[in-house]
Every structure is written in structure tokens, then in C-alpha cells.
């Protein structure tokens, strides 16, 4: 069994080598008061709470020639290619720099977990100075001090916390989508219609940890993977037709995909079981596209589509962000539009909005609709920043998180939707107390 690989990346002098040594608990590398000192060791086995892993100090891997910028880019590439978990290290004493942002931008391209740590937080005051780094978009920065050894446990907890998902890491840049729905709505017919002429690679993963079938293909230069492909996975096992098993399959397919096509049947209308399936898709926080299939069957007039759409909006109110497309797997009507919509939703769920733009929006939003008074106390929102994609997740720094109620949160989400294209993806807003 191969050990997970953890790579530390960051610009020179943030303390990568110091942290590396602290983690491997021996002082093998030379730490000097200047950038670019030679290190005799960049690769070591480490252990935390019973989890063994390989630790790489990418700062020790340098090109024969090249500007600092190029060196750092190469280091980030190595981390992206080799590591299972990436630790991006910043330095609180020099605050955030353009170089930190350059590295972060490179790391956005990877689906691997990136943990943000900010070094040289030697005392409590400095530990509160780390919030600058929120805007890098990798969630809560973890304050550490490589030289004092503080915060290292929290950092390693976060690192080993990512190991469990190793089987679910997908290294290629394919858009992964699943096709779900109750039996007979036409899932396999849709998959076959989409695949049509595409060059298809069916990867049967039976016997591996994930007992599922994924189908990969390329269309207009974009790679796609249909996760746990409906219809192909029919092995005649007795449990396959049971409700619980199909729920299990659907949930795991959704969890393993970026977005989900929720298929409905135009000839039968919406049934109770459709609502259950839709609920799983929504709960997972992935993108959702509602595909109304068998559009060739019902008698239609100019209003049919609008009416069906209204029914869907009523029945699935929580999926208000999901676009609806009316197709026929049988005649092929609008089947090519499905992939266009998949592209669009994927772009939206990976969209990043700059903090400055968000804060302009916040200012305007709180001007139109002032923050509420709750038991005589007014909610104050100081700052807003995006901390994650897929789903786009925003943190608002407030005076008291308890004061941010559902309705004002929904108002903020609506403001985001009105100003940016987030069609097809849920949006999360988290409140943090500003210290
Ligand atoms: P790297 O080249 O980016 O990996 O950084 P180094 O590990 O070589 O450290 C650069 C400088 O920062 C050295 O002078 C270290 O002594 C210092 N340093 C590293 N970690 C800390 C820390 O936690 N606190 C403080 N105050 N200095 C640190
Ligand atoms: P699944 O169980 O959701 O995978 O559904 P299937 O793809 O096996 O389709 C169930 C039945 O619906 C089959 O008899 C299909 O031929 C039929 N069907 C699927 N799509 C369409 C469609 O767009 N129009 C019509 N008229 N029938 C369809």
C-alpha cells in the first residue's frame, strides 16, 4: 500500500524547511537567516496519530536556473502532480504578497485538498493577523509557528483528515457528472444518446474500493466522466432493484460527481420518489440540472413547457437554482444542449469572485436592505470573502453569528445570484465572528 504524500509549498523564507523539520521531528535540514539555503533533505516519512505519510518540502526542489517566480511555479506543479494533500504556507510577519497569490492561483487548478497554514504566528496577537490570508480562497488559515512548534497539531489534524478521501480524488480535469432518477425515467437512454458518436472509455472499477462504473469521453476538447453510469451497471444482483440500494448508488454517484442530471419523466409527471432523489442531489451541495425526458410523448401546446416548469418549481422549491431542460432521448431533441449546460454549470460552480467586488456588493446590499435588529441588537457585517468553490462558499465576518438568520442569508444569496452567474449551483454562506 502506498503512503499518502503531503507537500509543503510557499514562497521562499516563509519557513517551509523549518516546518518540515518540526514535523519530521529531527533537525536534519540547515535553516539559515536567508532565502535559498541548500537543504540536505526534502523528503521524509512522518507520522501523526497513527497515520504514516511522506512529507515533501517543495522549497528544496529547485531548477538549475530560473527566476524565483519560475522556481516557485515548478514547486507548485510538483505538489499538484505528486501530492495527495498540499499544505500552502504563508508568513504572517510579511503579510500576504503577490507571490502567495501566484501560488494560490496555480493550486486552484487542482482538485487535491489544499490546507492553508500561516507560519511565524509566534504569539496570540500574530495569530489574529492571519485573516488577510482568507482571501486566498482555501478556507480557514491555520496559524502555526515552526520555530516554537505551536499549531502543528492542528495543522496535522487537518492534513490527516484528508487522507480518508484518497480513493475519491480524481486527478484528471474531467467534468464528472452523474445521471440520477427513479427507475424508467430514461437515464440509460439519455446516457446512450449523449454518448452517441463519442469515443467512449468504459472503466469498470468492480473489485476496487469503489464498486462503480465510470464512463469517460471527450467532446470539443473537454473531458467528461459519467459517474456510476446508469444502465451499464446491471449485473443481475438481487439487491440491485431494491430502493435502499438504488438510493445508496445514487448518493454515492452524486458524492463522486461535480454535478448531477436529475431526470424526470414528462409522460408520468412528478412522483413522490422523484422528490426523494432530488433531495439527495440538493443535500450533497453539488450542481444540479433538471432534465425532463420523454418530451416527445405528451400532447403539447405553446404553454406546456411553461406549465411543467411551474410545477417543477413548486415541487422542488429548494432546487430553485437548477436549470431545466426538456429533451427526448428517443428523438434526440435537445440532447446536444445537455453538455453545453453541463459546461455552463461547471463554470458557475467553480467561479471565484474577488473580495473587493464582493465587498462593493455587500455595501450596496446592506444599503438597500439594512441588516436586521434581533432582540435589540443589530447584525453588523464587516467583510465578505469567498473561501471555496464547488459549491461557491462565502464567509461573512460579523459582530455576532447568531444574528445572521435564514432570511438575511437568503437575501445575500439572492444578491449574489443577481450579480453573478451561479445558475445550477447551490451557494453557501458561513458567518464568523470578527475578533
Ligand atoms: P523556507 O526557505 O521558506 O522554507 O524558510 P526557512 O524554513 O528556511 O525559514 C526562513 C526564516 O524564517 C529562517 O530565518 C527561520 O529561522 C525563520 N522562521 C521559520 N519559522 C519561523 C517561525 O515560526 N517564527 C519565526 N519568528 N521565524 C521563523
Ligand atoms: P432508466 O431505468 O431510467 O435507465 O430508463 P431507460 O433508459 O431504461 O428507459 C425506460 C423506458 O423509457 C424504455 O422503454 C425507453 O425506451 C423509454 N424511453 C426512454 N427515453 C425516452 C424518450 O425520450 N421518449 C420515449 N417515448 N421513450 C423513452
Residue-range domains of the chain with CATH = 5-168 (3.40.50.300), 174-349 (3.40.50.300), 355-433 (3.30.300.20)
Closest ligand to the CA of 100: 1
pLDDT at 232 over 90: no
Nearest CA to ligand 1 atom 9: 15
Angle at 166 between CA 259 and CA 78, to 5 degrees: 95
For residues 133-149, average pLDDT: 93
* Residue to probe by mutation, ligand 1, list 14, 16, 18, most atoms within 8 Å of CB: 18
Distances (CA, A) of 317 to 147, 312, 372: 53, 8, 25
- Please compute the mean of the pLDDT values over residues 84-105 and round it to a whole number: 93
Å from CA of 99 to ligand 1 middle: 17
The response to whether residue 330 sits with its C-beta less than 6 Å from ligand 2 reads: yes
Ligand 1, atom nearest to 122 Cα: 24
Minimal-distance CA residue to ligand 1 atom 2: 13
State the ligand closest to the CA atom of 30: 1
Ligand 1 binding residues, C-beta < 6 A: 10, 12-18, 31, 33, 35, 59, 119-120, 122, 145-147
Ligand 2 atom with least separation from CA of 327: 23
Name the closest-CA residue to atom 12, ligand 1. Answer: 15
Model pLDDT, residue 371: 93
Is it the case that residue 348 has pLDDT exceeding 70?
A: yes
Which of 23-27, 293-297, 328-332 shows the lowest per-residue confidence on average (mean pLDDT)? Answer: 23-27
Residue 428 is predicted with a pLDDT of 92
Determine which residue's CA is closest to atom 14 belonging to ligand 1: 33
Q: What is the mean pLDDT of residues 365-386?
A: 92
3-state secondary structure of 26: coil
Cβ neighbours of residue 264 closer than 8 Å, sequence gap 6 or more? 181, 185, 270, 274, 290, 291, 292, 293, 312
d(CA 213, CA 325): 26
For residue 188, the ligand closest to its alpha carbon is 2
Q: Whose CA is nearest to atom 18 of ligand 1?
A: 15
- Strand ranges of the sheet holding 51-57, from the earlier edge strand across to the other edge: 43-48, 51-57, 5-9, 85-91, 114-119, 142-143
> What number is the ipTM of this complex?
0.55
CA proximity to 142, closest of 114, 107, 169, 101: 114
202 known ligand binder: no
Residue 379 C-alpha cell reads as 447584525
Kind and range of the H or E element at 281? helix 272-283
The answer to whether 213 is a known ligand-binding residue is no
Assess whether the C-beta atom of 183 lies below 6 angstroms from ligand 2.
yes
Q: What rounded mean pLDDT belongs to the chain?
A: 85
Per-residue pLDDT for 71 more than 60? yes
- pLDDT-derived band at 245, boundaries 50, 70, 90: low
| Alpha-carbon span 5 to 407, nearest angstrom | 43
Given pLDDT bands bounded at 50, 70 and 90, which one contains residue 204? Answer: very low
57 marked as part of a ligand binding site: yes
Lowest model confidence (mean pLDDT) among 87-96, 113-122, 234-243: 234-243
Average pLDDT, integer, range 31-44: 49
| Sequential DSSP letters for 304-317 | HHHHHHHHHHHHTG
What per-residue confidence (pLDDT) applies to 52? 81
pLDDT in tens, 263-278: 999 999 999 989 988 8
Going by pLDDT thresholds of 50, 70 and 90, the confidence category of residue 335 is: very high
Annotated binding-site residue? 208: no
Cβ of 139 less than 6 Å from ligand 2: no
Question: What is the pLDDT at residue 126?
Answer: 82
Which ligand is nearest the CA of 99, by number?
Answer: 1
Q: Is 429 helix (H, G, I), strand (E, B) or coil?
A: strand
Annotation-wise, does 228 bind a ligand? yes
Residue bearing the bigger pLDDT, 361 or 79: 361
Hey, how many other C-beta atoms are within 10 angstroms of the C-beta on 425? 27
Helix (H) / strand (E) element for 17: namely helix 16-24
Query: If you search the block for the grid coordinates 504563508, which residue do you land on?
Result: 90
Q: 287 with 254: CB under 8 angstroms? A: no
Distance (Å) from CA 125 to ligand 1 centroid: 18
Q: What percent of the chain has pLDDT over 90?
A: 57
Helices 187-195 + 335-349 axis angle, to 10: 90
Amino acid at each position: 500500500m502506498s503512503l499518502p504524500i503531503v507537500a509543503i509549498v510557499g514562497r521562499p523564507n516563509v519557513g517551509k524547511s523549518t516546518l518540515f523539520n518540526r514535523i519530521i521531528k529531527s533537525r536534519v535540514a540547515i535553516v539559515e537567516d536567508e532565502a535559498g539555503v541548500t537543504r540536505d533533505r526534502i523528503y521524509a516519512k512522518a507520522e501523526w496519530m497513527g497515520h504514516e505519510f511522506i512529507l515533501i518540502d517543495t522549497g528544496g526542489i529547485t531548477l538549475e536556473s530560473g527566476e524565483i517566480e519560475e522556481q516557485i511555479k515548478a514547486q507548485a506543479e510538483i505538489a499538484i502532480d505528486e501530492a495527495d494533500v498540499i499544505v500552502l504556507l504563508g508568513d504572517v510577519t510579511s503579510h500576504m504578497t503577490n507571490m502567495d497569490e501566484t501560488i494560490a492561483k496555480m493550486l486552484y487548478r487542482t482538485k487535491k485538498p489544499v490546507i492553508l497554514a500561516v507560519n511565524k504566528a509566534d504569539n496570540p496577537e500574530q495569530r489574529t493577523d492571519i485573516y488577510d490570508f482568507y482571501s486566498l480562497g482555501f478556507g480557514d488559515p491555520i496559524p502555526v509557528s515552526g520555530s516554537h512548534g505551536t499549531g502543528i497539531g492542528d495543522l496535522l489534524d487537518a492534513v490527516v483528515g484528508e487522507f480518508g478521501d484518497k480513493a475519491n480524488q480524481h486527478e484528471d480535469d474531467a467534468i464528472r457528472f452523474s445521471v440520477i432518477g427513479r427507475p424508467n425515467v430514461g437515464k440509460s437512454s439519455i446516457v446512450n444518446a449523449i454518448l452517441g458518436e463519442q469515443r467512449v472509455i468504459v472503466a469498470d472499477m468492480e473489485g476496487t474500493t469503489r464498486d462503480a462504473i465510470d464512463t469517460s469521453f471527450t467532446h470539443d476538447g473537454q473531458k467528461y466522466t459519467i459517474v456510476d453510469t446508469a444502465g451499464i451497471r446491471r449485473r443481475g444482483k438481487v439487491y440491485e432493484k431494491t430502493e435502499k440500494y438504488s438510493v445508496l448508488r445514487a448518493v454515492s454517484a452524486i458524492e463522486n460527481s461535480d454535478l448531477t442530471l436529475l431526470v424526470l419523466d414528462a409522460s408520468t409527471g412528478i412522483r413522490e420518489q422523484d422528490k426523494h432523489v432530488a433531495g439527495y442531489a440538493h443535500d450533497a451541495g453539488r450542481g444540479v440540472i433538471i432534465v425532463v425526458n420523454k418530451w416527445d410523448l405528451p400532447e403539447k401546446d405553446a404553454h406546456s413547457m411553461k406549465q411543467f416548469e411551474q410545477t417543477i418549481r413548486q415541487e422542488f422549491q429548494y432546487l430553485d437554482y437548477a436549470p431545466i431542460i426538456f429533451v427526448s432521448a428517443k428523438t434526440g431533441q435537445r440532447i446536444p444542449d445537455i453538455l453545453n449546460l453541463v459546461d455552463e454549470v461547471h463554470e458557475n460552480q467553480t467561479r471565484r469572485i474577488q473580495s473587493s467586488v464582493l465587498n462593493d456588493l455587500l455595501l450596496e446590499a446592506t444599503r438597500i436592505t439594512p441588516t436586521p435588529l434581533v432582540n435589540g441588537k443589530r447584525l453588523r457585517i464587516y467583510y465578505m470573502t469567498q473561501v471555496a468553490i464547488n459549491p461557491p462558499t462565502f464567509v461573512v465576518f460579523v459582530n455576532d453569528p447568531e444574528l445572521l438568520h435564514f432570511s438575511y442569508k437568503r437575501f445575500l444569496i439572492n444578491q449574489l445570484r443577481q450579480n453573478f452567474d451561479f445558475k445550477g449551483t447551490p451557494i453557501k454562506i458561513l458567518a464568523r465572528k470578527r475578533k
